[in-house]
Amino acid sequence: MERVLSSKKVLVTGGAGFIGTNLCESLLANDNQVTCFDDLSTGLLSNLDNIMEHPNFRFIEGSICDLDAITKAMVGSDVVLHQAALGSVPRSIDDPLSTNNVNITGFLNVLEACKINQLKRLVFASSSSVYGDIQDSPKVEHSIGTQLSPYAVSKHVDELYAGVYANLYDLELIGLRYFNVFGRRQRPDGAYAAAIPRFISALMKQESPVIYGDGEQTRDFTYIDNVIQAINLAATVTDQAALNQMYNVACGESISVNKVVASIQVALSDINPEIGAVIPKKVEPRIGDVRNSLADISKAKKYLGYDPKFNFEKGIMAAIDWYYKNL
């Protein structure tokens, strides 16, 4: 059976966000007591409607940039699952100072709060963006290039700080490098919305989805349930060799953006055949984006027991079904 956190007191930072809300639901389903800590700058309180009244759930509105607030929120916790961040490469290029403040200073506050509370296990969200301009494919954890955006730099710095704190203060830290996560509750609106929810939303309205570049750039798109599995495995692993490491969290599949759009069109055409005739709009590539991104997930399989249950096709169908019912 898959290892999951159960009967623990868990603090989830960024718990009102896309990954965070799915994580909180999963934790509650496994009899954990969950504290969600979020400043609601990008997360939505409405994401928590289904669990807000759960007897084992507590919501605290606060920022990881406030050391006192995050330290108090962590009191009594057994494990911290750190998802809070300012995401998006384009956002970080537009506003690098805010990205640095939240993703680096905020993360440092989380580490300090762990130290103050003598809490050992922290699982934190890193990113495939740390691989930067390295051309190796698939990406392996021990080999990274030059980061291409402030967001990528912030995640790389987080990994460096995690290593320092693990060595100095005897903490058990595990970083998960997420590769293009998608699925239920990922917002399709806003200037920095991710590609898949934007594509689904546009096509459902029979509008042309916007593709940056020629669409042949590839990603290792990773369905949300694979991420939830990896977080649970990282939070519960006991093998000392698995601790204080970084792990790729992905499927090990190379999917072009053009294929993503085509797959969504085929699925939605069963609902409305006219969607299949919509022509995507292609615009200039975005600065800071990598051309190709594919993960080697053998390390996570070996040390964590990671075994993704959703490939891209299964994940995209699940996502489309959710958006169709909820948009």
Catalogue the active-site residues: 151
Nearest to 316, CA basis, from 249, 266, 270, 282: 266
Single-letter residue type at 243: L
Q: How remote is the C-alpha of 313 from its chain's centroid?
A: 19
Which DSSP symbol is given to 49?
T
Check: CB of residue 299 under 8 Å from CB of residue 141. yes
- In degrees, to the nearest 5, what angle opens at C-alpha 176 toward C-alphas 67 and 256? 125
Single-letter residue type at 284: E
Check: CB of residue 259 under 8 Å from CB of residue 216. no
Pair of tokens at residue 59:
């919501």
**Spatial CB neighbours of 256, under 8 Å, sequence gap ≥ 6:** 215, 216, 217, 218
CA atoms within 13 A on the CB side of 133: 6
Q: Which is it for strands 172-178 and 218-219: parallel, antiparallel or unpaired?
A: unpaired
Check: CB of residue 126 under 8 Å from CB of residue 152. no
Q: How remote is the C-alpha of 19 from its chain's centroid?
A: 6
The total of other beta-carbon atoms located within 10 Å of residue 36's CB is 29
